[in-house]
Amino acid sequence: MTTITSNLQAVRDAIAAAAAEAGRQAGDIHLLAVSKTFAATALREAYRAGQTCFAESYVQEALDKIAALNDIPIEWHYIGPVQSNKTRAIAENFAWVHSVDRLKIAERLSGQRSAQLPPLQICLQVNISMEASKSGVAPDELDALARAVAELPGLKLRGLMAVPAPSDDVIVQRASFAKLREMRDRLNRQGLQLDTLSMGMSHDFAAAIAEGATIVRIGTAIFGDRIYLGETA
């Protein structure tokens, strides 16, 4: 067995254990393999081990991999910052975008999504830890953004995403994820139908699952440590 194959199995087992602990069905939690900085060969290996959903954070790097892997049916998710000049490439090449945090970006994605394709599946990224440097809509601007995005053609608003400030304390991790869940529940009480909470990474996915994550975004625990080569978008 290769390292990626055995890592994937260990992550799946850990997701199942966290789900059981939380009294949830493991099948309600989707594993998104975060493959940024890793070569197409690594993704192909994960695909052979049964992984079909992959997430990328840098548009040009993603387009290269999408081209290199066009012989296998991968579902591509975009989780990086969305710049205006990259929305067309994103709208044309991805199934999901988890990192929408401004109406202007959502409008561009909506306008540029081909009617031939299924709607682009959208999560709004929320800045739950309110750090100035982090992307994400401010919690007090979320409701207005969600209502507006839900109306846009070519998009399907599915839920919320967050990257909380890192903490080793499970209590702190859970409190952040609980906030995102409460925001999703509040929007649903206002009439939206959001079924997705995209939350939890390699170091905190068990806490995220305990608080209702439906998608966990895991990179390091599957592919190993990343070495950044300087590309930022």
What mask of x and - would describe binding to ligand PLP in positions 138 to 167, judged by CB under 6 A? -------------------------x----
The span of 70-78, 128-136, 176-184, 214-222 binding ligand PLP (CB under 6 A) equals 214-222
Per CB under 6 A, 34 contacts ligand PLP: yes
The span of 85-93, 112-120, 147-155, 201-209 binding ligand PLP (CB under 6 A) equals 201-209
Among the listed residues 175, 97, 173, the one whose alpha carbon sits nearest the alpha carbon of residue 135: 97
Largest distance between two CA atoms of the chain: 49
- Please identify, using beta-carbon distances, which residue of 103 and 201 lies nearer to ligand PLP: 201
Of 86, 158, 179, 217, which lies in the binding site for ligand PLP, with binding defined by CB under 6 A?
Answer: 217
The span of 9-17, 132-140, 182-190, 196-204 binding ligand PLP (CB under 6 A) equals 196-204
The span of 44-52, 85-93, 184-192, 216-224 binding ligand PLP (CB under 6 A) equals 216-224
> Could you tell me the two tokens for 176?
């952040």
Contact 55, 79 (CB under 8 A): yes
| Span between the terminal Cα atoms of the chain, in Å | 34
- Please identify, using beta-carbon distances, which residue of 129 and 147 lies nearer to ligand PLP: 129
Per CB under 6 A, 57 contacts ligand PLP: yes
- Please identify, using beta-carbon distances, which residue of 172 and 201 lies nearer to ligand PLP: 201
Question: Nearest approach, Cβ of 227 to ligand PLP (angstroms)?
Answer: 12
Per CB under 6 A, 122 contacts ligand PLP: no
Question: Nearest approach, Cβ of 80 to ligand PLP (angstroms)?
Answer: 6
Which residue of the chain is nearest ligand PLP when measured via CB? 219
Of 3, 83, 114, 220, which lies in the binding site for ligand PLP, with binding defined by CB under 6 A?
Answer: 220
Secondary structure string (H, E, C) spanning the chain:
CCHHHHHHHHHHHHHHHHHHHCCCCHHHCEEEEECCCCCHHHHHHHHHCCCCEEEECCHHHHHHHHHHCCCCCCEEEECCCCCHHHHHHHHHHCCEEEEECCHHHHHHHHHHCCCCCCCEEEEEEECCCCCCCCCCECHHHHHHHHHHHHCCCCEEEEEEECCCCCCCCHHHHHHHHHHHHHHHHHHHHCCCCCCEEECCCCCCHHHHHHCCCCEEEECHHHHCCCCCCCCCC
Q: Residues interacting with ligand PLP, by CB under 6 A?
A: 34, 36, 57, 79, 163, 201-203, 217-221
